[in-house]
Chains A and B, each alone.
Chain A
């Protein structure tokens, strides 16, 4: 058996054309991602969460705020798939509704980090000089607050609630993106096509927008995916401490924090919201790792 495409002159010609090269690069990315079982698992889990967040509330038989004190701490049953909580609210529905808030928190927080961090990093790396020095010193300072601490300090000042949690977690993820994009911009600005653009008189902002930012996106996409998981962890952590989204909003972290009181009587109320957070973070981490392997051939 012969391979027809290679036997003809057309086939050989096609293989050398740049369009084919570009296609195979994209194709290689997808086939790599598809061949990674962990990335697929991550995408699968994510799909379930997104479906729950979008459709769950539509098909729910009752509102999660529907609290009947007589029905508190009910065990698992056909009416209440996961039992009820301390106020008689259906735990399954609370978790389904929680998917919305958790995904929302993650996406908006990372969006803030991206929209501030990306241009800051690109400008810092592209222009260099005192702009770079200033941006990098501020980044240093923000990165010096370990872990959850910057978000915690910001929430302590801004106050609790969904919006302030998003702002706090968002601000604390800015420096990571700034660092990452700066590193790429530093090397991109030395490349011939950037030099050519500058020689042609293309204004700096257009070079940044057309060349520097698009070409530094690969590591940013990977980091943004991983950062979604990290943002969800921090936001839920704030909720757990009682400094995040407040009740009656069914946010997993705060559900977990409130359920602590009942750890001796109803362990489900502690186990389930935490499992939901764990699953979401795991999904983003798996997809992020898969993207990194697919986008960066140097690794692994």
Chain B
């Protein structure tokens, strides 16, 4: 197990470096003068030069890269041009809001998704199965931002049940969490259904049924446990959709998380913050998937030795 952990972690490190490098190159190699972009069209040439020097754009590329990596390793993400505060602080004050939203949505989508997937698989071909499968395709096809706006129209404007914006009171969590959870819910339900179907066709399930074990017991003791393995992988992967969805959901609900910080920073050309947020989200995604892989190997010994 330990060698497996070491191997997986060692693979993740160059990926994280790669991500940092791509983000570095994205800002510097794209057409246009980043110093001019940050300063704005109306800035004087002197201002542009000052910004160029302040950001180190006047240095050779490899010097900039080394400085950037060294700063990253010490946890220094730079200074926000918009607020003058360190990027790390900007991110850390908003991160809890995004994490809360992501956590609630993950819980909703996993619990509901696995339940629906199981119901559909055990009643394969029934109207209920058809309905759940249709719901899953709808969930996968629905634009998050549109779903959010529809929920606002229905529950905030017409029914006055939940607030349309802000994270001040607990009720404010309801609509954004549902919005964000929908895609993942559909993904998990689908995966749970097909995993369950596969497991139900296995010999050990048939044996358990043959020896007279009641279906409920077979499902709980044999089928669910084995079906949950592939579902775990999807939970890791859906985290990516969740982060991407958070950017959109936070914009719809004026949520004070990192997603909105990212969009606001793109508009105000606050490149240090854009770099920092994208890097943090990508690294978070890598780490979550690494943890899922390790958990998978821990639960299923077949993985470790392959």
Contact = CB atoms under 8 A, between A and B. Distances in A.
B30 interface: yes
Contacts of A152: 247, 262, 266, 278
B278 A153 contact: yes
A149 B274 CA distance: 11
Interface string A104-144: 00000000000000000000000000000000011011101
A263 B153 contact: yes
Nearest to B134: A38
Interface residues of A, number: 47
A144 B16 CA distance: 8
Nearest to A275: B146
A237 to B, nearest CB: 6
A38 B22 CA distance: 40
A267 interface: yes
Interface residues of B, number: 50
Contact of A138 (B16, B18, B27, B267): B18
B306 to A, nearest CB: 15
B263 A241 contact: yes
B23 interface: yes
Interface in B154-168: 157
Contact of B150 (A236, A271, A285): A271
Nearest to A242: B267
A38 B137 contact: yes
Contacts of A282: 137-138, 141
B5 interface: no
B67 interface: no
Interface string B244-265: 1101100110000000001100
Contact of B18 (A141, A148, A233): A141
Interface stretch (A3-11, A82-90, A154-162, A189-197): A154-162
B150 A137 contact: no
B278 A145 contact: yes
A274 B247 CA distance: 17
A124 to B, nearest CB: 16
B143 A274 contact: yes
Contacts of B267: 242
Contacts of B242: 146-147
Given A156-B274, A236-B143, A241-B248, A137 B14 contact: yes
Interface in A258-297: 260, 263-264, 267, 270-271, 274-275, 277-278, 281-282, 285-286, 289
Interface of B: 14-16, 18-19, 21-23, 26-27, 30-32, 134, 137-138, 140-146, 149-150, 152-153, 157, 194, 239-245, 247-248, 251-252, 262-263, 266-267, 274, 278, 281-282, 285-286
Which 7 pairs between the two chains have the least Cβ-Cβ distance? A147-B244, A274-B146, A146-B240, A141-B18, A282-B141, A148-B244, A281-B141
